[in-house]
Chains A and B, each alone.
Chain A
């Protein structure tokens, strides 16, 4: 995280450091609502991604909430224009409502 006075990034550098996430499991959410998880094998400036052993989490038909069911996609190329979120899966977990406990936050 650079804190230069300019605070703007050079055109060729992306703020997303995908190099650090190479060969790790990442969670990718897509604009349409699909959720994917796979090992990051490749990427480019436009955030097109190559995911190995990719799994798509099936959403519930009515609520569109992710369920435990999934389907395997194998080696997949994800179009960068459709990506809405990229998160490393390491350290990620589902938790109980944190906002009820900490009423100081916000």
Chain B
């Protein structure tokens, strides 16, 4: 099971997020995306020292700032169910492939950017285009060959 699939299954359930600086946020997961950015609601923020507490009606957390998440058992069960549903809809291997395919279509930069970190959008796009230009290179190679054959 992919971590982000588990996270998506956890939408609507409570979870705990600890950030890299040690602050923890307990709240209900709203939406999340391919970069693990998330919206939480009814959040209790605890300082890193564990001494101070704040209540926030909602907050947005950057995925890159997260150290780890703790999910409820309900979220895990739901994720397992979602996996089964996905596997039933199509053959097992392709089901997983299509899952990742969806990522590429809808979050193109995120999908390709997974290997590399966020702000490399130019290069990410370049990698995609690079494939097509290589294709053209090959046809260019055939070009002169056809010319010589005609002459």
Give the distance in Å from the alpha carbon of A88 to the alpha carbon of B108 in the complex: 29
Contact A9 B56 (CB under 8 A): no
Beyond A2-B31, A106-B16, is A94–B11 a contact (Cβ under 8 Å)? no
Q: B44-52, B132-140, B141-149: which one contacts chain A?
A: B44-52
Beyond A7-B8, A106-B16, is A1–B60 a contact (Cβ under 8 Å)? no
Q: Does A10 contact B (CB under 8 A)?
A: yes
Q: Which residue of B lies closest to A90 (CB)?
A: B57
Contact B49 A94 (CB under 8 A): no
Size of interface on A: residues with Cβ below 8 Å to B: 38
Size of interface on B: residues with Cβ below 8 Å to A: 47
Give the distance in Å from the alpha carbon of A90 to the alpha carbon of B20 in the complex: 25
What are 8 residue pairs bridging A and B, where the CB atoms are less than 8 Å apart in the complex? A1-B30, A2-B31, A10-B106, A65-B49, A87-B60, A88-B58, A93-B55, A96-B53
Interface, chain A (partner B; CB < 8 A): 1-3, 6-11, 14-16, 27, 29, 31, 33, 47, 63-65, 81, 83-88, 90-98, 105-106
- Residues on B with C-beta less than 8 A from A8 are 8, 33-34, 102-103, 106-107
B49 to chain A, nearest CB (A): 7
